[in-house]
Amino acid sequence: MSRRQSPSGHRLRGVPEAPLPRELVEFLEEPNAAVIATVRSDGAPYTAATWYDWDEGRVLVNMDYERLRLSHMRRDPRVSITVLDIGDWYRAITVLGRVVEIRDDDGLRDIDRLSQRYRGEPYRNRERKRVTALIEPERWHEHR
């Protein structure tokens, strides 16, 4: 199977491979709204709104340790994240990739980073365990 084919062998037309162009990276570096999709055990997609950050060529996401999407990522690392331009609903970027690292968010450093990015303050809930996932982009698509 080539990188330009899906697991079922179908060609992926019009979906460029990583790395992303600089102008799209600049867009991803902004605190835009995002939706992440994971693969459920029955193969169906599962989506959830999420905070994210662009982290040296990877997408960083963080979640409560009991979130369904975390169990999906552990079982099947294929994910996509669609980042929306709030000022222009006709513009979005979807990054398709794989979770390459899952780690405990000791000290809540990653969720604090995301909360500062989106809310301007540290994360409020200090009681719940958090987990960080890093996504390695494989392909991307800009919606216009």
pLDDT 10s per residue in the chain (144 long)? 444 444 444 445 568 888 999 999 999 999 999 999 999 999 999 999 999 999 999 999 999 999 999 999 999 999 999 999 989 988 999 999 999 999 999 999 999 999 999 999 999 999 999 999 999 999 999 988
Q: What is the pLDDT of residue 11?
A: 46
Q: Which CATH class is domain 22-143?
A: mainly beta
Q: Could you give the CA distance from residue 126 to residue 118 in angstroms, rounded to a whole number?
A: 17
Angle in degrees, CA 58, 68, 95, rounded to 5 = 25
Radius of gyration for the chain, computed over Cα atoms and rounded to the nearest angstrom? 15
- Between CA 43 and CA 107 the distance in angstroms is 34
pTM score of the predicted model: 0.88
CA distance 77 to 71: 10
Domain map of the chain by residue range? Answer: 22-143
Amino acid letter for position 122:
P
Q: What is the pLDDT, as a whole number, of residue 15? A: 83
Check residue 64 and report its DSSP letter: E
